[in-house]
Amino acid sequence: MYEALAAPTRRAILDALAASSTEQTLFELLNRLRYDHQVTLTRQAISQHLQVLEEAGLVHRRRSGRTVLHHYDPTPLVQIARRWPVSQEES
């Protein structure tokens, strides 16, 4: 998971996914990255980044009909907060 978060591009992908409450197609995600995060990626590049994020449990994908949808899952980040708790005063 730490490696997945280490790359700025993958953090931008998480930003783009987290920006919407609905699941996103690859097409929508690429456009959001381009216009909202100034990150232009090829289809191959984003697929590789998404795979790393999926393996870390930060992104899930599912098939809806004939279309693949992606969403962000913050669950793995909860483990970080458990390990190094942040008190209310500090946060």
Partner 1 sequence: MIRIHLASVFVTDQLRARDFYTSVLGFELRQDVDMGDGSRWLTVGNPGDEPFELLLEPAGHPVVGPYQAGLVADGIPATSFAVDDCQAEYERLVGLGVEFTQPPTAMGPVTTAVLDDTCGNLIQIAQMNAPV
**Binding-site ranges for partner 1 (CB under 8 A):** 20, 22, 24-28, 31-32, 34-35, 43, 64-69
Residues 6+ apart with CB under 8 A from 60: 54, 70, 71, 73
Measured from the CB atom, is 35 or 79 closer to partner 1?
Answer: 35
CA atoms within 13 A on the CB side of 56: 25
DSSP 8-state secondary structure symbol assigned to residue 14: H
Nearest-approach distance from CB 52 to partner 1, in angstroms: 18
Shortest Cβ distance from residue 22 to partner 1 (Å)?
6
Closest approach of partner 1 to the CB of residue 32, in Å: 7
Judged by beta carbon, residue 3 or residue 36, the one nearer partner 1 is: 36
Q: Which is nearer to partner 1, 68 or 77 (CB)?
A: 68
Query: 38's torsion region: left (phi>0), alpha (psi -120 to 50) or beta?
Result: left
In contact, 53 and 14? CB cutoff 8 Å? yes
